[in-house]
Amino acid sequence: MNKLKLFADGADISGIEEMSKNSRISGFTTNPTLMRKAGVVDYKLFALEVLKIVRDKPVSFEVFADDLPTMEKQAREIATWGENVNVKIPVTNTKGEFCGALIRDLTDQGIQVNVTALMTLEQVQKVTDCLNERTPSIISVFAGRIADTGRDPMPIMKQSVEIMKSKPKSELIWASPRELLNIFQAEAVGCHIITATNDILKKLDMVGKDLVEFSLETVQMFYQDAQSAKYQIEV
């Protein structure tokens, strides 16, 4: 993982604080769903609390309006919260209307965006075309959700990297990974960033672990759990 950057994905303040001290982590992302699950009530208060913890690494916060004018107002407000903020803009609203005009306007004015929830090469091309070449931007392709449909995300991610070369200041995120292996897959196809939840990131310490040792530990776990449960079979 020499070039691939790891971004921690979540909305738990204690988890964010823990990962902010991890030298492997280069940035942070969150979204309204993760925030709701974490019990966040006040969106701005939460964001400002995160930015007190994460001062020198990029953090993405998402707009949640559904009409483009209100999305723009929210985006401009979020952008004022910190120089390290990327404003997350969904590729479409809930009606399927492409947010390209908003993406173009924001990046033309130097606002750094993280365009999210992409799953097709057509979407990647359309978003890339809207980015201002002078403004650093992120495109998040949900490789994990693509895989959930039975499709191999690797070719899509590899071609996305190629498409985005037309905007050298843009970076591709392998979003919604399902397992640690995805980190190595993302690096293999040339992704710039992968987001991962804390439970996946904590498995990094297992990279290269001896499989015979791992097998024995698994057997020991099964045995110890059976003993703790006091299971018995009369023989």
Positions annotated as catalytic residues are 88
Paired residues of 230 in beta bridges: none
Taking the C-alpha atoms of residue 204 and residue 73, their distance in angstroms, rounded to an integer, is 39
| Pair type for strands 193-196 and 113-118 | unpaired
| Pair type for strands 170-174 and 5-9 | unpaired
Q: How many CB atoms lie within 10 A of CB 202?
A: 14
**Listed residue (76, 65, 133) closest to 99, CA to CA:** 65
- Report which DSSP code applies to 95: T
Taking the C-alpha atoms of residue 55 and residue 19, their distance in angstroms, rounded to an integer, is 13
